[in-house]
Amino acid sequence: MTPVVELRLWRVDRVAPAVLRMGAGRRPLRRTPGLRFAKLLGTGSGRTFTPRDADPHHWALLTVWDDAAAAAGAGRHRVVRAWDDAAAERLRVRMTPLTSRGRWSGAEPFGPDAPGRHRGPVAAITRARLRPTRALSFWRSVPPVVGDLHGAPGLRLAVGVGEAPIGLQGTFSLWSSTDDLVSFAYRSPEHRSAVARTEPERWYAEELFARLAVDELDGTYRGETP
């Protein structure tokens, strides 16, 4: 079975009810048949990976379904409906995993690598749990890498995501092609330097990188379709 991954982004006008929905949504998601992994996420600019990045008007839900049949009812799930009803703007990206390395909350949510080469838009998901003793070193390394990311050719969208404002860092990015993503990952001097420092600096207690094929995209983010 090929898993189906969806990321939903919502813009809301009222922040307090959104915070309550974040807390109330976890249990119903855990009880959903065919849903193997789900994370309600805060979002931010992803420029410093500190609380000052936080965007309290944008929230996200990442879901990984066992297969297309299980994912067919995703839009009717009561957690999704509650966010849709409250949202002033919505974006949904449906994806198929291509490659994944690492773990998220102890799980490998995206399954084994898919064979073959994908031609078309791709998404990248990164997530890391910082070691508290190494956080300052990590934050010092972020600005040059982020500057390269936001100016990278082929980048359509980049959003910081995380389960908490501090210590749980992640990004979701959309790219026009695999070549554009690979060019940033392996040819950007700042990014290569940060990757090379990851192991000796021991920044992360847990980390994950996944690349996914973009199958469907509908809606807008900040008034634009990526």
pLDDT in tens, 63-102: 999 999 999 999 999 999 999 999 999 999 999 999 999 9
The enclosing H or E element of 196 equals helix 189-201
Whole-model pTM?
A: 0.87
User: Residue 171 carries which side chain, given as an amino acid letter?
Assistant: T
Spell out the domain ranges in the chain.
Answer: 4-219
Compute the distance between CA of residue 22 and CA of residue 207 in angstroms, rounded to an integer.
23
Return the CATH fold of 4-219: Alpha-Beta Plaits (3.30.70)
pLDDT, residue 115, reads 74
pLDDT, residue 179, reads 93
Helix %, strand %, coil % of the chain (to 5): 35, 40, 25
Q: Of 84-88, 94-98, 185-189, 208-212, which range is least confident?
A: 185-189
| Per-residue pLDDT tens digits for 33-64 | 999 999 999 998 766 555 677 899 999 999 99
Compute the distance between CA of residue 74 and CA of residue 62 in angstroms, rounded to an integer.
11
3-state secondary structure at position 206: strand
Q: Does the pLDDT value for residue 172 go beyond 80?
A: yes
The residues facing 224 across adjacent strands are: 221
The residues facing 97 across adjacent strands are: 212
pLDDT band of 190, cuts 50, 70, 90: low
CA-to-CA dists, residue 217 to 47, 63, 67, 75, 213, angstroms: 24, 15, 18, 14, 11
Which of 207, 194, 190 lies closest to 130 in space, CA to CA? Answer: 207
What does 103-150 look like in DSSP terms, one character per residue? -BTTB-TT-SPPPS---S-EEEEEEEEE-GGGHHHHHHHHHHHHHHHH
**Residue 129: both structure tokens together:** 């749990």
Q: CA angle 82-78-16, nearest 5°?
A: 30
User: Residue 65 carries which side chain, given as an amino acid letter?
Assistant: W
Distance of CA 83 to the CA centre of its chain: 18
Residues in the chain: 226
User: Residue 128 carries which side chain, given as an amino acid letter?
Assistant: A
**Residue 106: both structure tokens together:** 């102890």
Q: Of 37-41, 106-110, 159-163, which range is least confident?
A: 159-163
Q: Does the pLDDT value for residue 13 go beyond 70?
A: yes
Output the CA torsion 209→44→202→182 (10° steps): 40
Residue 76 carries which DSSP code? G
**Residue 202: both structure tokens together:** 């021991």
132 CB neighbour count, 10 Å cutoff: 10
pLDDT, residue 143, reads 47
Distance of CA 30 to the CA centre of its chain: 19
